[in-house]
Chains A and B, each alone.
Chain A
Amino acid sequence: MTATLPQQTAPPTPLGRALNRALRDALAEDPAVHVLGEDVGTLGGVFRITDGLAAEFGDERCTDTPLAEAGILGAAIGMAMYGLRPVIEMQFDAFAYPSFEQLASHAAKMRNRTRGALPMPLTVRIPYGGGIGGVEHHSDSSEAYYTATPGLHVVTPSTVADAYGLLRAAIASDDPVVFLEPKRLYWSKEPWDAESPHPVPELGRAVVRRPGTSATLIGYGPSVPVCLQAAEAAREEGWDLEVVDLRSLVPLDEETVVASVRRTGRAVVVHEAQGFGGPGGELAARLSERCFHHLEAPVLRVTGFDIPYPPPMLEQHHLPGVDRVLDAVARLQWESEWTSKEAR
């Protein structure tokens, strides 16, 4: 699947606005949808993603809850049991941790435990990742906790159009979706017309953001713009890089990734989360299993270090940037040193 080009006439719209619009449309279309969270009502959320929703739909559809993440998620589970479709906002990545037990032990397992009698159509929106100069506990990339929890879908947009489409798809899903919002992209703008109808994509479909032939960069959420910038810069070096945006870590669209890497023969996975136990390891393993004979070089990973998220004045050293991605691309055995070394 390839990305559709945004209409050039559309006004520049920040990603956060598209999320807001997705919530609004979901609330308007389906009375079962309820938004819950800390400060999501009158204030419109600390990132203003729920701006205006309580005013338009009332406090019972967009509810300021008590400040207790486990309670919010636990209550949402009960609401889902009664047929509602709760959409929760966690204020920041690290503040979702108190709700982890409810997510891992119940949201993820309830459908399976009850053989489908109690499905969990709920969405947990979590602003995640760094790059905004946040103090401690405001910049975690916690996706690996969620991808390691069978029963959850884990979805993350990188474009304005996807912010809308994937959030609509997440809310419409009959399974729990952890919807990770790259907070540093909240203000990034693309031409996007909120008023024209937008397709809702199927969850679990990756997309080729930039076609290329030399190597594949695989990213998701905040690392997609980094990959695209790196691909642009790599042209000067004579590399024509393909960029795949996973959009969804669970379900993982292996076919799109595998097809790309079989074409290019080289791959780099880029993410902010720590490398150890991060999604990059899973992708590298699957690519080596399925593309072994097509690979010209080992699959490389460019990730955050295996450290607690750094204080803001040091975060630039931690975040995988364009240079680090290009360094990795340079190490993809262009001179066939790998094969010659092996031959020695």
Chain B
Amino acid sequence: MTVLDRSGAQQSSPHPAPPPAWRPAGDAASLLPQDTPYRVLGSEPLPVPPALLGDGPRPDDAELLALHGHLAKGRRYNEQATALTKQGSLAVYPSSTGQEACQIAAALALAEDDWLFPSYRDSLAAVARGVDPVEVLSLLRGDWHSGYDSRATRVAPLSTPLATQLPHAVGLAHAARLAGDELAVLALVGDGGTSEGDFHEALNFAAVWQAPVVFLVQNNGFAISVPLAKQTAAPSLAHKGVGYGLPGVLVDGNDAAAVRQVLSTALGRARSGGGPVLVEALTYRLEAHTNADDATRYRADDEVAAWRAHDPIALVERELTARGLLTEAHAAQVGAAAEELASDLRGRMRTEPSLDPADLFAHVYARPTQQLRQQQAQLQEELAAAAEGGPR
């Protein structure tokens, strides 16, 4: 693109054009999300797939049946965990009922070597990735801040400070790329979290470094009580990609098949050097923020009802019915598997976790400082005295 008028002598023009380097580079249009969220389940006409997807294959019957089983287990897990808060064995639980499709289908799109960076609401994603369902709950149970082995599972700890896990995801992806390892990183964040500075810095670093990371925003409409309209004036959260030079994709977050397809494509693209992608999944938090929250203070029942009609499990079941796959045998098997997960969770959460106060000092540093050794000895003395039953 020629900006300078080469023919005209500079003296003849009182206002010379700026040098070309200051012109925008790159094709913004190719980074913009589609007008309509991508979906594959439900009635025709289906929206145009995002350019990034190409003609990716639609889920076959076996895949759809498997997804159905995973979603049902996810819902049952949420119900059981919420029940555990009422019995006092969990301090709090942020339910993801209504968001099972985004969390589970996204996690299922990960390959063996990939990493997952979940947010505090993403227990289901971690479980779908293969983390032990009880270990996932350590944070909320309170026996340790993170209960599973992040290195072995390649699942970072559930992050409580919103969006702070996103730069970690970028850094890990960058390190893997530098090492020449073919892996991708999936980083989860909520709609509220996209307002945090770390979200912006992470997207920018990811794009500049072409890090193999896929950001998945679960837009469930609310950050505790605050609706999206008070969070952003952007046309969509997926539009936030263009400002940093990474493509944005909109997907129906309740359509497990669509999420699975979009994430598989985006992660595969990242793995093979195609760079980062921002995916916004439109979904809804059907329950309150946590068991301790009262959602009636900030949203209307009919809004919730409208989303219940677009329930992710119902969507898959309708498709299965249309394909003649929702047999009684399948339904019974799915129900039994979900029940088995719940009863395993109940049973194991009933046993007291093993707690060792010495752990408080063991992992602060590679080697405890002199001061920590003294403090540990003090605590041990106190505990020994208490065990002997008398005051010291």
Residue among A68, A78, A251 facing the most chain B CB atoms (10 A cut-off): A78
List, sorted by A's number, 19 A–B pairs whose CB atoms are closer than 8 Å: A70-B167, A71-B201, A71-B204, A74-B164, A74-B166, A74-B171, A75-B168, A75-B174, A77-B168, A84-B175, A86-B171, A106-B168, A112-B145, A117-B151, A118-B156, A119-B366, A204-B369, A252-B369, A252-B371
Find chain B residues with CB under 8 A from A255 CB. Answer: 370
Q: Do A117 and B149 form a contact, CB below 8 Å, given A68-B204, A71-B205, A74-B202?
A: yes
Q: Is the CB of B365 within 8 A of A111?
A: yes
A250 at the interface (CB under 8 A from B): yes
Known: A112-B363, A251-B369. A71 touches B176 (CB 8 A): no
B164 touches A101 (CB 8 A): yes
B179: chain A residues at CB < 8 Å are 82
Whether the Cβ atoms of A74 and B175 lie closer than 8 Å is no
Q: A71-B167, A117-B149 are in contact. Are A78 and B197 (CB under 8 A)?
A: no
**B364 in the interface, Cβ–Cβ < 8 Å?**
yes
- Neighbouring A residues of B248 by C-beta, 8 Å: none
Q: Report if A113 contacts B (CB, 8 A).
A: yes
Q: B374: shortest Cβ distance to chain A, in Å?
A: 10
Q: Does A102 contact B (CB under 8 A)?
A: yes
Q: Is A308 an interface residue (CB 8 A)?
A: no
Task: A78-B172, A79-B172, A105-B161 are known; give 10 further A-B pairs, CB within 8 A.
Answer: A74-B166, A77-B167, A84-B178, A101-B164, A112-B145, A112-B363, A113-B144, A150-B364, A173-B366, A255-B370
Interchain Cβ contacts within 8 Å, total number: 135
Closest partner residue, chain B, to A78 (CB atom): B171
A70 — which chain B residues lie within 8 A by C-beta? Answer: 167, 197-198, 201
Q: Mark B138-170, 1 if CB is under 8 A from A, else 0.
A: 000000111001111000110001001011111
In the complex, the answer to whether B172 meets A106 with C-beta atoms within 8 Å is no
Is A311 on the interface with B (CB-CB < 8 A)?
no
Bound: A84/B359 CA distance, A: 26
Given contacts A113-B157, A115-B363, contact A68 B370 (CB under 8 A): no
- Is B370 a contact partner of A254 (Cβ separation < 8 A)? yes
Taking CB atoms, residues of chain A closer than 8 Å to B371 are: 251-252, 254
Residues on A with beta carbons closer than 8 Å to the beta carbon of B198: 70-71, 74, 101-102
Report yes or no: A74 in contact with B170, Cβ–Cβ below 8 A: yes
Interface flag for A151 (CB, 8 Å)? yes
A174 at the interface (CB under 8 A from B): yes
Please tell me if A42 contacts chain B, counting CB pairs below 8 Å.
Answer: no
Nearest residue, chain B, Cβ from A253: B370
B208 in the interface (beta carbon within 8 A): yes
Question: How many residues from B make CB contacts under 8 Å with A?
Answer: 40
Q: Check B164–A76 contact: CB distance below 8 A.
A: no
Instruction: Tell whether, in the assembled complex, residue B364 and residue A82 are in contact, meaning their CB atoms are under 8 Å apart.
Output: no
Given the interface pairs A71-B202, A82-B179, A151-B364, the reply to whether A77 lies near B161 with Cβ below 8 Å is no
Which residues from 316 to 337 on chain B have a C-beta closer than 8 Å to any C-beta of chain A? none
State which of B151, B157, B205, B359 has its C-beta within 8 Å of the C-beta of A75: B205
Q: Looking at the assembled complex, report how far the CB atom of B179 sits from the nearest CB atom of chain A, in whole angstroms.
A: 7
Interface centre among A75, A79, A151 (most CB of B within 10 A): A75
Q: A78 contacts B167, CB within 8 Å?
A: yes
Which chain B residues lie closer than 8 Å to A65 at the CB level? Answer: 205
A81 located at the interface, meaning its Cβ lies under 8 Å from any Cβ of chain B in the complex: yes
The 8 A CB mask of A115-159 against B (1 = contact, 0 = none) is: 111110000000000000000000000000000001101000000
Residue pair A102, B167 in contact (C-beta under 8 Å): yes
Expressed in whole angstroms, the Cα–Cα distance for A204 and B151 within the complex equals: 29
The yes or no answer to B278 lying at the interface (CB within 8 A) is no
Does A306 touch B at the CB level, under 8 Å?
A: no
Q: Is A7 an interface residue (CB 8 A)?
A: no
What 5 A-B pairs come out closest when comparing CB atoms? A74-B167, A78-B171, A71-B201, A75-B171, A82-B175
- Whole-angstrom distance between the Cβ of B211 and the nearest chain A Cβ: 9
Q: How near does chain B come to A41, taking the closest CB pair, in angstroms?
A: 13
Specify the chain B residue showing the minimal Cβ separation from A108: B364
Task: Find the residue from B151, B167, B198, B371 having the highest chain A CB count within 10 A.
Answer: B167
Query: Does B246 make an interface contact (CB < 8 A)?
Result: no
Bound CA span A86–B168, Å: 13
> In the complex where A68-B204, A112-B145, A118-B150 touch, is A82 in contact with B172 (Cβ < 8 A)?
yes
Instruction: Kindly state the separation between the CA atoms of A125 and B201 in the bound complex, as whole angstroms.
Output: 20
Q: A175 interface residue, CB < 8 Å from B?
A: yes
Q: A68-B204, A74-B166, A76-B171 are in contact. Are A115 and B366 (CB under 8 A)?
A: no
A105 to B371, CA, bound (A): 22
Nearest neighbor of A106 in chain B, beta-carbon distance? B164
Whether, in the assembled complex, A11 has its beta carbon less than 8 Å from a beta carbon of chain B, the answer is: no
* Closest chain B CB from A247 CB (angstroms): 14
Complexed CA–CA distance, A60 and B177 (Å): 11
**A66 CB–B CB distance under 8 Å:** yes
B359 A78 Cβ-Cβ under 8 A? no
Task: Report the minimal beta-carbon distance from B136 to chain A, rounded to whole angstroms.
Answer: 14
Residues of B within 8 A of A83 (CB): 175
Closest to B206 in A: A75
Q: How many whole Å from B95's CB to the nearest CB in chain A?
A: 23
Whether, in the assembled complex, A4 has its beta carbon less than 8 Å from a beta carbon of chain B, the answer is no
CB of B92 closer than 8 Å to a CB of A: no
Question: B149's closest neighbor in chain A, by CB?
Answer: A117
- Measured in the bound complex, the distance between the Cα atoms of B157 and A250 in whole Å is 26
Once bound together, how far apart are the Cα atoms of A279 and B224, in whole Å? 40
| 8 A Cβ contacts from A221-267 to B | 250-252, 254-255
B366: chain A residues within 8 A (beta carbon): 111, 119, 173-175
- In the complex, whether A340 has a CB less than 8 A from a CB of chain B is no
- Assuming the contacts A101-B164, A106-B168, asked whether A175 and B146 have C-beta atoms less than 8 A apart, the reply is no
Chain A residue at smallest Cβ distance from B117: A78
Q: Is B173 an interface residue (CB 8 A)?
A: yes
Q: Is A8 an interface residue (CB 8 A)?
A: no
B168 closest partner in A (C-beta) = A78
- Is B174 in contact with A79, judged by CB distance below 8 angstroms? yes
Rounded to whole Å, the gap between the CB of A203 and the closest CB of chain B is 10
In contact, B173 and A78 (Cβ under 8 angstroms) = yes
